[in-house]
Structure 1
Amino acid sequence: MSLKSLSRIIALATFALIAICIVLFIDDEQRIQLIAQDIEEVSTIVAESMTRTRALLRFTVVLETALLAALIGFIVFGLSRRVMRPLKLLRSNLRAAALDNLHVIPVTGPQEIAQVANDAEHLRRSLVNQTDRAHQSIQALHYEAPASVAIRASLDRQIQPVPGFAGYSRPIEGVIAGDWWWAGVRSDGKRIFAIADVSGHGVQAGVMAIESRSIVSTALASRLPLDEIALALARHAWDQGMFFTLFMGVIDTDSLEYCSAGHEYACLADASEQQLLPPTGPVISNLGGHWTVARVPFTATSVFLAATDGLVEPTSPAAVDRWLTEAICTEPETPENWLNHLLAASRNATDGWPDDLTVILATGM
């Protein structure tokens, strides 16, 4: 091979190598462009992801703020509805009761506030009764002061409280009335009681009430039969034209033995039903009569109620039965609470009592 041929070969090889380098350079440039495009696309995706993440974070913050505000609003609304509103209502009712003692304070709201309202209503009833007694005393002093005060004090005097008994007596317009009630415990442990309504008003009726009460209480404590007590009272020398109704009872562990001398209203009740106890003879008077004794079951859940016509006549026996059932079902289980509920319902229904009123209530032990 000549030198000239070798030179050509070398030249061709050199050109070929340069061509290969150029091709490789162009290929690398394309690869670099592709890599750059990939990087740019990844950057775009990352930027979009960051934008979405920031938007999601902003939405989450807004949502949490809204939920927190809603929770705070719900708590405030709940406090207002369950606490503040019942308190405002109770406050307005207390103000109304302070201006008008006949305004009934409704027992509403949560348990704690309802208990406060219930206590306030009991206080209002007590104040109404005390106001009535004060009004009665003032009128009594104006009309028949000395005799009225002495006779009424004697009729209202109860030697000692008797378990399971509550009573109330109020004459009309402060005059001397013959209504009375009495309760006691015999030496054998049985509870005894009586309620009476003497005809008329004034000193004559008051003296007859004191005398009849003394006779009846002594006879009951002496264990005399009830019908014999009624017969002895009829034989007593009462003033001409005077008479009185009388209900006497003896409560044993499981029964009530009674004698009713023309007494208008007496019933035996529990939370579900009432049983009227009819008279077992005529009223007590100089005309005499015949009386019998009746016996009815009397359990631990039984409630006995007797009243003079001042409670029944302005409304009806059915209304009194309904009030007694309401008291048994809604009030705490004490005879005082039940009696106060009954008196409050009667007063609200009749706008005061137009006649003498005496009530006695007894419960099982």
Structure 2
Amino acid sequence: MRLRRRVQLLALAFVALIGLDVAFAVRLTVVRDNTTEVVEERLNPARAEVAALLNAFISQETGQRGYIITGRDGQLDVYLNGRRSAARAVEELRRLLAAEPALLGGVEASQAAIARWQEQVAEPEIAAKRSGRVGEAEVLVEAEGTLRLFEQATARIDEVRRGVNVELMQAEEDRDRARSLTTRVLVASLVIALGIAVVTRILITRWFTVPIDDLRRSVAQVAGGDLDHVIESVGPPELEEVADGVEAMRRRILTELGDADRARGALARRGLVVLTLRDELAASKVPLAPGWAVAGRFEPAEGIIAGDWWDVVDLGDGRTALALVDVAGHGAATGVYALRTKQLTMAALREGLGPGEAWSWVQRAMGDTGEQFLTGALVVLDPTTGRCRWSSAGHPDLLLVGSAGDIKHLEATGPVCGSVIPGPWAEAEAMVEPGGFLIAFTDGLIEPRNKAGEEFGADRLTALVRAAASGTADAVADACIAAARRHAAGGFTDDVTLVVLGRSR
């Protein structure tokens, strides 16, 4: 089974388990919240209102008896206040117990019993007392049905109280059970998550870690020089394909190394001068100031010698000079001419000449070169400030890339350098911002054509640089060379040199 399918199935199982767990937890939470709402917002308040109703009824009976005995209006006020409180309690109980028909029936029965006691006992006794019929009032108080009606009303209220307590206990048990189940679900969720993590770890180790480590060790062994070590196919199909690709590369490297050894032997016998030229034209390894990096890429159109060269030189006063030169032509003869221009140019910069003055000095030092000429760019950089002075001798535009990806084209400040066309070569200033780049290249980078005959072109290069500007100098250089190589249908027909000078943010 391919790795993608394995990962999909693992993810599906994970999502299914989590989904079931979440659904169950949500259901329990809803039950818990509903029961909590019943307890806190209905039954607990109802229990308090039942107690208030009983107290209000007892207050009525106390006030009524006190009035009959003492005749004081204050006792009558106690009765009336109790009656109003009882009415309020009944209305509140009707609201709170609307969803409980049995309890609501008990409330109505209690209200009816209270009303009978009021109509048959309290109100007649109070009326007799008010009208001065003391004897009649006393007879009514001592009547046989008086106590029975009072006890019936209190009994009805007590039934409601017991019913509310039963419902409250049941709801609290349901709430506690839901809470307990929720806790168990959370614990089960943690156990499931831990189990998934363990299983995932085991599968990742089996599918990824072990095969990749095996492949890494094999590749490292080959990279360390053991080219005879065979890369074995391991792991899922995708990694097997990678291993097969690396193995094919190893075999191709062995073949190319054999070809290179034979070519090197031929060069050693017939081309020692060519190798020497190549080494002399190669860029020197000059360390840059902290926060700066330079990436150079060179691909000759023919053999290993070209007319292009670039280099960096430390001027000794804290400044750094960057030079890129493109000599017209190819091959060893052009390489000899290019080496001479490099020696003269580096000497001029080390002597402290500015970029424009250096071109003039090189032209004079070269003397009569016939139709031979060169283009190039010289840059003198102050690494501390990022400010640089530059001069371009008929060379393609330099690209000054800002920290936000904006690009400014720095055009040539003078003609090509040769004996046919005199100078002068002006100088200009530019600023390389933190996070920005200064890019120089030869025309071989933008002239390759694809199968449709379209040039790679400066516009395509500019767009590519803008897209890659967030990377390092090496990343920008690699992206440019790779894109130009893909565009070139038949390979590069001219020497290609690219230099990217980058400043960190």
Q: TM-score, normalised by structure 1?
A: 0.62
Give the SS at the match of 2:321.
strand
1:160 aligns with 2:286: yes
Deviation of the 1:210 alpha carbon:
0.9
1:200 aligns with 2:329: yes
Q: Displacement, 1:72?
A: 6.0
> Is the CA contact 2:445–2:496 (under 8 Å) kept in the aligned structure 1?
yes
State the SS of the aligned residue for 1:184: strand
Question: Superposition pairs for residues 210-359 of structure 1, below 5 Å?
Answer: 210-235=339-364, 236-252=366-382, 253-270=385-402, 271-287=404-420, 288-314=422-448, 315-329=456-470, 331=471, 333=472, 335-350=473-488, 352-359=491-498
Distance in 2 (alpha carbons) for counterparts of 1:237 and 1:140: 35
How has the CA–CA distance of structure 1 residues 98 and 323 changed in structure 2, closer, same or farther, with 3 Å as cutoff? farther
Tell me the distance in 2 between the aligned counterparts of 1:345 and 1:265: 19
**SS of residue paired to 2:302:** helix
Give me the CA root mean square deviation: 3.9
Question: Are the counterparts in 1 of residues 324 and 440 from structure 2 also a CA contact under 8 Å?
Answer: yes
Q: Distance in 2 between matches of 1:144 and 1:361?
A: 35
Specify every segment of 5 or more residues in structure 1 that has no aligned partner in the other structure, as ranges. Answer: 1-63, 102-126
Distance 1:143 1:209, change over 3 A: farther
Change in Cα spacing, 1:204 to 1:322, as seen in structure 2 (3 Å) is same
**C-alpha distance in 2, partners of 1:100/1:262?**
42
CA distance in 1, matches of 2:356, 2:389: 11
1:92 corresponds to 2:241: yes
Deviation at 1:214, TM superposition (A): 0.9
Q: Quick one: distance in 1 between partners of 2:467 and 2:435?
A: 15
Partner in structure 1 of residue 109 of structure 2? none
Instruction: Return the alpha-carbon distance in structure 2 between the equivalents of residues 321 and 139 of structure 1.
Output: 42
**Cα distance change on mapping 1:225 and 1:157 into 2, 3 Å:** closer
Change (3 A) 1:348 1:191: same
Unpaired stretches in structure 2, ≥5 consecutive residues = 1-187, 213-235, 449-455
Task: Judge conservation of contact 1:265–1:308 (CA < 8 Å) in 2.
Answer: no
More helix by percentage: 2
Q: Flag the 1:348–1:296 CA change in 2: closer, same or farther, 3 A.
A: same
Change (3 A) 1:285 1:97: farther
Cα distance, 1:278 vs. partner? 0.7
Other structure's SS at 2:481 match: helix
After superposition, give the CA deviation of every residue in 1:334-364 in whole Å (9 maximum; x if it has no partner). x234323332333233364332111111112
Q: Is the 8 A contact 2:369 2:418 kept in 1?
A: no
User: Hey, what's the Cα distance between the residues in 1 that align with 2:474 and 2:357?
Assistant: 32
> TM-score under structure 2 normalisation?
0.46
**What one-letter code is carried by the residue in structure 1 that aligns with 2:476?**
W
8 Å CA contact 1:140–1:174 kept in 2: the answer is no
Aligned residues: 269
2:273 is aligned with what amino acid? A
Contact map agreement 2:354 2:380 (CA 8 A) in 1:
no
In structure 2, do the counterparts of structure 1 residues 258 and 144 end up closer, same or farther at CA, with 3 Å as the change threshold?
Answer: farther
Structure 1 residues 207 and 301: alpha-carbon distance in aligned structure 2, compared to 1, 3 A threshold: same
Instruction: Check the 8 A contact 2:396/2:443 in 1, yes or no.
Output: yes
Q: Does 1:183 align with 2:322?
A: no
Q: Percent identity?
A: 27
In the TM superposition, residue 284 of structure 1 has moved relative to its aligned partner by 0.5
Residue in 1 that maps onto 2:231: none
Conserved? CA contact 1:234–1:285, under 8 Å? yes
Residues 173-216 of structure 1 deviation map (CA, whole Å, 9 limit, x = unaligned): 31531100010222221121100010112332111111111111
- Tell me which residue corresponds to 1:60: none
In 2 relative to 1, CA 218–363 (structure 1 residues): closer, same or farther, beyond 3 Å?
same
Residues of 2 paired with 1:144 and 1:324: CA distance?
A: 41
Task: Verify the 8 A CA contact 1:139 1:173 in the aligned structure 2.
Answer: no
Aligned residue for 1:172, secondary structure, equals coil
Cα distance change, pair 165–157 in 1 and its aligned pair in 2 (3 A): closer
Aligned-pair distance for 1:248?
0.2
Once the two structures are TM-superposed, the CA of residue 258 in structure 1 deviates from its matched residue by 0.6
Distance 1:265 1:167 in 2: 17
Alignment of 1:116-135 (within 5 A): none
Q: Distance in 1 between matches of 2:241 and 2:466?
A: 29
- Does the 8 A contact of 2:348 with 2:361 survive in 1? no
Rg bigger for which structure?
Answer: 2
